[in-house]
Amino acid sequence: MLKNILPENIYNILSERVSFNAINELRIRADKPIVVSVGSGRFFLSDHGLSGNLKEAIFATRIMIEDIIFRASECSIYSVNEQIKKGFLVTTGGVRLGIGGDLIEEEGHIKTMTNFNSINIRIPHEIKNCSLTAFPHILQDETLLNTLVISPPGAGKTTFLRDFICQLSERNYAFNVLVLDERGELDLGGSLGNFADKISFASKKVGFENGIRSLAPNLIVTDELGGQEDIEAVRYSVNCGVNLLASVHSDSIESFLKKPSYSKLIEERIFKRYVLLSMRNGPGTLEGIYNENFARITKY
Amino acid sequence: MKYLILGFLAVGCIFIGYIFSLKYSRRAKFFKALVMLCQKLDVEINYSRERLKTLFESFDEKTKKQLQGLDKNYLTYLANNTSLDESNLFKGLNFLKQNEKDTLLIFFRSLGRTDLASQSKELKNFEKRFEEFSSFANGENKKYGSLSIKLGIIVGLIVVVLFC
C-alpha cells in the first residue's frame, strides 16, 4: 500500500535500506527533514537509509505532502473529507495518516482542512499472539470480562485488540464481536476472524447504539476511548449487557487514575480488567494486568 | 474500364471529404461527452462519493467511446504513481487545440484534489467552460464538417467531368 502513496524515491529507500517491518512511524513535515521511528528510536531519512546527521536528511516539501494525501485518498480527497476533518486518513491497507494543516471552520463546525503541512504515517503491524498472555485473564470460565487496555500512543493498543479478536476466532469462541473501528485501523483486511462484525468511521455514540440495536453483539471492541461522549457510550453498552474491550491513552495506571472523566467508570467498577502496555522493550511490552480494584494480577 | 476508374476517383474524393468531416464531428461528440462527464461526476461525487477510479470505470460505453481514450489515459495515470502531463493525458487525441489541452489538463489535475464543496464548484465551472467548447465545436462541425463532404462531392464530380 505504501508503494502507492509514497514518492518513489522515498519508498525505494525505505524498502531497500530500511525494513518496513521495523518502522513504526514516518513523520513528514513541510520543509523539514523526514523522520523515521524505528523501535523507540527516531532517525532522519537520508539517501543511504537512516541517519543521525541532519545534513544528510531528505527534506519534505508541501507538494510532496499534498501528493501523499492525494494518493492515500485514492486520488479522491472529496471521498475522505469526513476523515480529514477529524485530522486523519486511513488507507485501504489500514495505514493511518495523521494530517496537520489549516482547519476551516464555519458556524462552529469544521468544514474541511486545507494547506496540509505535515503527515504522520503510522505503519500497522500484525504481531501474532501478542494478546495471548492476557487472554486467560480477560476470558475466564467462558465469560468475557470488560477490559480496558491502557498504553501511551504507539505502544501497541490497536495491535493487541486486533490480535485478541483473532485469538477468539481461532479458538472458536463464537462470541458475536462488534468491532467499532472509528478510524479504520483495526481491520487490516480479513484480520478480524470469523465472528466479527464491523462498523467503521462512526463515532462511539452512534456506533454503539446502532451496533447493539442491529447486530446484537456479545462483545464490543473499540479503540481509543476519549471524551465524555465515549464514556456515556461505554455505560450504555454495559447497561445493555454487552461486554467491552477498549483502549485508552495513558502511560501508567497512576496517570490513568488521574483522568477525571474516568472516575465514575472506575468507581462503578465497570472494567474488570486493566491491561497496561508500554514501549519499555519496544511497542507492545506487557507491563501488567490489573483487576477492578487495580490490584496487580500478574507482573512482567 | 475508364468509367470504373472515374467512379473510384469520385468515391475516393467523397471519402477524403468524409474523413475531414470526421475530425469535426469527433470534436463535437468529444466535448458533448466531456459536459456529460462533468455532470455525472458532480452528481456521483455528491451522492455516492465514490472514488474517481470507480466513477471513470462505470461510465457507459457510449460516453467512453466519445471520450476517445481520454478516460483510459486518465485511468492509467490513476493506476500509476506518475505525474499528469500532456503527453500521457492526450495520447491518441490529435484533434485538440492547445487552449483546449491546457483547460483539460487543469481540469484533470484538479480532480480529486479538494473537498466535496470545492470539487463540486470546480466541476460546475469546468462544465460551463466545456459547454462553450462544445457549442464552438458544434458550430465548426456544422460549418466545416458538412462543407468537407460537399467539397469532396464537388471535387469528385469535377474529376468525373474533366476526364469524361
- Rounded distance between C-alpha atoms, residue B111 and residue B106, angstroms: 9
pLDDT for the residue numbered B140: 87
- Rounded distance between C-alpha atoms, residue A119 and residue A121, angstroms: 6
pLDDT for the residue numbered B153: 86
Domain A135-299 has CATH 3.40.50.1220: no
Residue A76, burial from CB neighbour count under 10 angstroms (0-12, 13-18, 19+): buried
Q: Which of A70-74, A95-99, A123-127, B136-140 has the lowest mean pLDDT?
A: A123-127
Cβ–Cβ under 8 Å, residues A119 and A99: yes
pLDDT for the residue numbered B83: 83
pTM higher than 0.80: no
pLDDT for the residue numbered A4: 86
- Rounded distance between C-alpha atoms, residue A36 and residue A44, angstroms: 6
Candidate from A7, A74, A77 with C-beta closest to B115 = A77
pLDDT for the residue numbered A243: 94
At A25-56, the pLDDT tens digits run 899 999 999 999 987 789 999 999 999 999 99
% of chain B at pLDDT higher than 90:
46
pLDDT for the residue numbered A299: 61
- Rounded distance between C-alpha atoms, residue B106 and residue B103, angstroms: 5
Q: Indicate the domain borders of chain A.
A: 2-122, 135-299
What three-state secondary structure class fits A297? strand
Q: B24: domain range?
A: 2-163
Are the beta carbons of A4 and B81 separated by less than 8 Å?
yes
Tell me the pLDDT of chain A averaged across its residues.
89
Contacts of A13 (CB under 8 A, 6+ apart): A45, A46, A47, A49, A58
pLDDT for the residue numbered A57: 95
C-alpha distances in Å from residue A13, one per residue of A58, A267, B5: 11, 51, 68
Contacts of A124 (CB under 8 A, 6+ apart): A94, A95, A96, A158, A159, A185, A188
- The number of angstroms, rounded, from the C-alpha of A194 to the middle of its chain's C-alpha atoms is 21
At A264-296, the pLDDT tens digits run 888 989 999 999 998 888 778 889 999 999 998
At B99-126, the pLDDT tens digits run 999 999 999 999 999 999 899 999 999 9
Range among A281-290, B36-45, B82-91 rated most confident: B36-45
Set of chain A residues whose Cβ sits within 8 Å of the Cβ of B111: 75
- Topology agreement, domain A2-122 and domain A135-299: no
Are the beta carbons of A75 and B115 separated by less than 8 Å?
no
Q: Does B119 touch chain A (CB under 8 A)?
A: yes
| CA distance, residue B126 to nearest chain A CA (Å) | 17
ipTM surpassing 0.85: no
- Name the CATH architecture for the domain at A2-122: 2-Layer Sandwich (3.30)
Set of chain A residues whose Cβ sits within 8 Å of the Cβ of B109: none
Question: Which residues of chain A approach chain B closer than 8 Å at the C-beta?
Answer: 3-4, 7-8, 66, 70-71, 73-79, 81, 84, 111-112, 114
Whether residue A300 has pLDDT greater than 70: no
Looking at the 3D structure of chain B, how many domains does it have? 1
Cβ–Cβ under 8 Å, residues B31 and B140: no
Q: How confident is the model at residue B137 (pLDDT cuts 50, 70, 90)?
A: very high
Whether residue B146 has pLDDT greater than 90: no
Q: Which of A12-16, A279-283, B59-63, B115-119 has the lowest mean pLDDT?
A: A279-283
Grid cell of A211 as nine digits = 451496533
